[in-house]
Structures are given as C-alpha cells and as structure tokens.
Structure 1
Amino acid sequence: MTEAPATPALPDRLSVDPSSPHHVAAVFEHEIGIRLNDKERFDVEEYCISEGWVKVPAGRTLDRKGKPLMIKLKGKVEAFYR
C-alpha cells in the first residue's frame, strides 16, 4: 500500500507570484480552491484569510510593469485543497 504524500498546511496569506514573499512553492504542488463569501473563485492571485480579502485581476488592464492590475475584494475567505 502506498500512502499519499502529506499536504502542507495552507498559510494565512498566499500569493501565486513567485517573486512575492508570500509565495510557498510546496503548496502549489497540489490543487488549491478559494471561496469568497461562499462562492468559489478561480481567478484569485493572492489571498489573506485573517484580513478577509483576495486580489483578482481587473480585466485585461496591465500596470506599468506589464503585470495584471489587481483589485482587492473583501469578505469571508476560505482556502482548501481540492
């Protein structure tokens, strides 16, 4: 019998951007889901559970460095492994 590898605990704050100090590569080896106000979101770039916000891209708008412009949505945030 082979055991599934243990999943690391989800941090309070996590970012998709590898240059961010809140990026944890070990977490992204598994599929993650995010719920904001009991609705699952698929476009979340960064979240913070304790402060209750997620950052999502604002359409196709880019900032001056060529990265998507982010907007912050507030509410009840839940992170989970799928």
Structure 2
Amino acid sequence: MNDTTQLPPLPDRLSIDPRSKFHVAAIFEHDIGIRFNDKERLDVDEYCISEGWIKVAAGRSLDRHGRPMLIKLKGKVEAYYR
C-alpha cells in the first residue's frame, strides 16, 4: 500500500480527459479508485463528490468527434488511493 502522506489530495471533481479543466495530471501518476454506492467502479471517466455523480461510457456509442458518449449516474461517490 502506498504512503498517502506524500500523495496530492484528491480533488472534489476529476476527469480523465486531458482537455477538461478538471484534469489533474499529477493525480494520475498514482493509482486511484472510485467507489460508487459502496461498489468499486473501474469504468469512471469523471466524478464529482460534492454533487454525488459519476460519468461512465454509454456502451459503444460515440459522439461526432469519436469520443465515447457519457451518461451521468447519481449516488454516493468516494475517491481514494489504492
């Protein structure tokens, strides 16, 4: 297990898309996990803890730019370092 005292604090909102203003590259140097409604999710593209939602890919659907279509799921969100 990693020593969490040297890791940067996890933000309230985080996105894996480098074009997003909520993308923090320093966070992705470490292995993070998302727990949604008390179950670990491995397919999360973006999350917001204070608003209680995650965004995940909607199947194989793509938008006009070739990126996956995302749907928002609401519930209890927890982010942590593995």
Q: Above 0.5 in TM-score? A: yes
Percent pairwise identity: 71
Equivalent pairs, count: 80
Q: Secondary structure at the match of 1:28?
A: helix
Q: Which runs of 5+ in 2 are unaligned?
A: none
2:74 corresponds to: 74
The CA deviation string for residues 12-38 of structure 1, in whole angstroms up to 9 with x for no partner, is 000000000000000000000001000
Q: Which runs of 5+ in 1 are unaligned?
A: none
Amino acid at match of 1:20: S
CA RMSD between the two structures? 1.5
Moved over 3 A (4+): none
Q: Which has the larger radius of gyration?
A: 1
* TM norm structure 1: 0.93
Matches within 5 A, 1:53-64: 53-64=53-64
